[in-house]
Amino acid sequence: MRNAFFASHLLLGAVALFALAPPAGAQNVSVDVRVDRLEKEMRAVQRKVFPAGAPLEAEITRPATPQVMPGSPASTPVADLTARVNALESQLASITGQVEENSFKLKQLEDAFNRYKAEQESRAPQVVVPPAAGPGTAAADPAPAPRPAAPKPAVAAGATEERKTAVAAIERPSTGNEADDAYTYGFRLWGAKFYPEAQAQLKATVDKYGSSPVASKAANLLGRAYLDDGKPALASVAFYENYQKRPKGDRAPDSLAWLGEALLQLKKPADACKVYAELEQVYGATLSSGLRGMMDKGRARAKCSA
Structural domains for the chain: 1-58+80-99 (no CATH), 159-302 (1.25.40.10)
Q: What are phi and psi of 5, to 5 degrees?
A: -65, -45
DSSP 74-141: PPPHHHHHHHHHHHHHHHHHHHHHHHHHHHHHHHHHHHHHHHHHHHHGGGPPPEE-PPPP-TT-S---
The upper half-sphere exposure of residue 38, i.e. CA atoms within 13 Å in the direction of its Cβ, equals 26
Check residue 159 and give its pLDDT. 73
Q: Which amino acid is at 241?
A: E
d(CA 163, CA 166): 5
> Which residues lie across from 127 on neighbouring strands?
156
Q: Which amino acid is at 80?
A: D
Higher pLDDT, 242 or 140: 242
d(CA 256, CA 251): 9
Beta-carbon contacts of 64 under 8 Å, excluding residues fewer than 6 positions away, are: none
The upper half-sphere exposure of residue 242, i.e. CA atoms within 13 Å in the direction of its Cβ, equals 33
d(CA 130, CA 113): 30
pLDDT bracket for residue 227 (50, 70, 90): very high
**Closest to 14 (Cα-Cα) out of 48, 37, 47, 44:** 37
Residue 232 has pLDDT above 80, yes or no: yes
d(CA 73, CA 50): 41
What does each C-alpha distance from 305 to 269, 272, 274, 289 come to in angstroms? 11, 12, 10, 21
Q: Count Cβ atoms below 10 Å from residue 146 Cβ, excluding itself.
A: 8
> Which residues lie across from 156 on neighbouring strands?
127
d(CA 306, CA 38): 35
Picking from 8-17, 76-85, 90-99, 233-242, which range would have the lowest pLDDT averaged per residue?
A: 8-17
Higher pLDDT, 158 or 2: 158
What does each C-alpha distance from 203 to 60, 186, 216 come to in angstroms? 53, 9, 12
Cβ atoms 219, 238 nearer than 8 A: yes
Average pLDDT, the chain: 76
Q: Mean pLDDT across the stretch 234-255?
A: 96
Picking from 130-144, 163-177, 178-192, which range would have the lowest pLDDT averaged per residue?
A: 130-144
Higher pLDDT, 246 or 6: 246
Check residue 160 and give its pLDDT. 84
Check residue 40 and give its pLDDT. 76
d(CA 199, CA 196): 5
d(CA 42, CA 40): 5
CA dihedral (186, 188, 194, 197) in degrees, to 10, reads: -20
